[in-house]
Amino acid sequence: MDRDALQPRVHEVAGDIETMETRGAAKIAAATADALRTQAVESDAETAPALLAELRAAARFLLSTRPTAVSLPNACRYVLRRADGGSVEAVRASAVESAVEFRARLETAQADLGQVGANRLRDGDTFMTHCHSTDVLACVEAAAADGKELAAIVKETRPRKQGHITARELRDLGVDVTLVVDSAARRYLDDVDHVLVGADAIAADGSVVNKIGTSGLAIVARERGTPIVVAAGTLKLDPATMTGNAVEIELRDESEVLTDAQREDIGDITVANPAFDVTPPRYLDAIVTERGQFPPESIATLMRELFGEGPTEPWQEL
Ligand code: RUB
């Protein structure tokens, strides 16, 4: 199906995800569900198969924007597996209902995992974080609501500096924030009680994919004996990894690392800009989800319980 036939809002959402105007796994998932709902509502398809084909095409288009955050395909799976019915109106209604339900579940999951994560944080604790994760923020918000006073060492997170967003939002929650450049992390780990990070994808073996720099932080934290905790709703579990697929790591443009003038000045070199890395389970202490906290090695059991379905993807053309 031609992408031009998709609703303008779907193009807008896809563009915002691609340019990182909308970023972070949970926000990407929420925007994806909204885009599919808009496609269902605004479509002038006249038959159920025609509307289902449009929804599948919209999902494929959204999936082409960024490859790593599994929340995006998981949002598509949730909506498309429930969009069904004998008439165009039935398909529309079920797609809208499932998209709205997905958003509500996302919010509830974040609040629930926030409470689980908050239980790990004690009054007076300092944690270190990397990038910007709404799941991490949910833990801190719940701890702050419980009256706990916290301090944070926030890594700047080159090249996009998502640490600035985190620093501002933590400050707004009343956390005492120190912003450091990424390479200062090890120096400050001695002052830290926990490392708390989010996830873009969690593989069946308990490996966690998150912003580039997470794995180095985890290894150094392990060396120092600092617990490293991943706050990630079950939306971040990647069912494709149960059948051996690897999570694709997004490689972004070199212009995020060097300006044109800097590039020109340095001359003929290669610039590599991977957006994410993989932290093996042995460096992680716990994964905090809305279903409780899990040792990373036990995540496969939870995945089997949640994604019992077959391997075909609902956005594939029939
Ligand atoms: C964002 C990032 C975040 C996770 C979790 O990367 O790595 O840690 O997405 O975020 P980018 P959340 O800025 O490249 O999208 O907890 O909000 O889902």
The residue whose CA has the least distance to atom 11 of ligand 1 is: 24
Report the pLDDT value the prediction gives residue 272, as an integer from 0 to 100: 98
Q: Which two tokens stand for residue 258?
A: 């060097």
Q: Are 188 and 213 in contact (CB under 8 A)?
A: no
The amino acid present at 225, given as its one-letter code, is G
Establish how many alpha carbons lie within 13 A of residue 77's alpha carbon, considering only the half-sphere containing its beta carbon: 19
- Residues 66-85 have a mean pLDDT of 97
Q: How far apart are CA 258 and CA 201, in angstroms?
A: 28
What separation in Å is there between the alpha carbon of 124 and the centre of ligand 1?
26
- How buried is residue 39: exposed, middle or buried, by Cβ count under 10 Å (0-12/13-18/19+)? buried
Contact by Cβ (8 Å): 138, 112: no
Q: Of 34, 112, 135, 200, which residue is the catalytic one?
A: 200
C-beta 210 within 6 A of ligand 1? yes
Residue with token string 């949910």: 138
Looking at residue 317, what is its pLDDT?
Answer: 74
Mean pLDDT, residues 218-233 taken together: 97
How many whole angstroms from 264 Cα to the centroid of ligand 1?
31
Q: Is the shortest distance between the CB of 43 and ligand 1 below 6 Å?
A: no
Q: Is 182 a catalytic residue?
A: no
pLDDT in tens, 271-296: 999 999 999 999 999 999 999 999 99
Q: Is 26 near ligand 1, meaning CB less than 6 Å away?
A: yes
Tokens 């701890």 locate to: 143
Active site residue 176: no
CB 131 less than 6 A from any atom of ligand 1: yes
> Can you tell me the distance from the alpha carbon of 284 to that of 194, in angstroms, rounded to the nearest whole number?
11
Mean pLDDT (the chain, rounded): 96
| Any atom of ligand 1 within 6 Å of the Cβ of 134 | yes
Which tokens belong to 276? Answer: 């994410």
Domain over 3-112 is classified CATH 1.20.120.420:
yes
Superfamily of domain 113-307: Translation initiation factor eif-2b; domain 2 (3.40.50.10470)
* pLDDT classification of 309: cutoffs 50, 70, 90: low
In whole angstroms, what is the distance from residue 45 CA to residue 249 CA?
A: 36
Every domain of the chain and the residues it spans: 3-112, 113-307
200 lines ligand 1 (CB under 6 A): yes
CB atoms within 10 A of CB 27: 17
Computed from CA positions of residues 109, 243, 70, 98, in that sequence, does the dihedral angle turn out positive or negative?
negative
Model pLDDT, residue 311: 57
State how far the Cα of 209 lies from the Cα of 230, in Å rounded to an integer: 10
Three-state SS at 68:
coil
Backbone phi and psi for residue 193, each to the nearest 5 degrees, phi listed first = -90, -25
Cα-to-centroid distance, 206 and ligand 1 (Å) = 18
The Å distance, Cα 210 to ligand 1 centre, comes to: 7
Question: Considering the entire predicted model, what is its pTM?
Answer: 0.96
Measured in angstroms, how far is the CA atom of residue 281 from the centroid of ligand 1? Answer: 19
Select which of 34, 112, 131, 285 is catalytic.
Answer: 131
Strand partners, 151: 126, 176
Rounded Cα distance between 109 and 74, Å, is 14
- CA 247 to chain CA mean position, Å: 13
CB 87 within 8 A of CB 36: no
Better-scored residue on pLDDT, 316 or 164: 164
Q: What is the pLDDT of residue 218?
A: 98
Strands, E, within the chain: which ranges? 126-129, 151-155, 176-180, 194-197, 201-202, 208-211, 228-231, 276-279, 286-289, 292-294
200, 238, 251, 256: residue to mutate for ligand 1 pocket, most atoms within 8 A of CB = 200
Determine the 3-state secondary structure of 275 from DSSP: coil
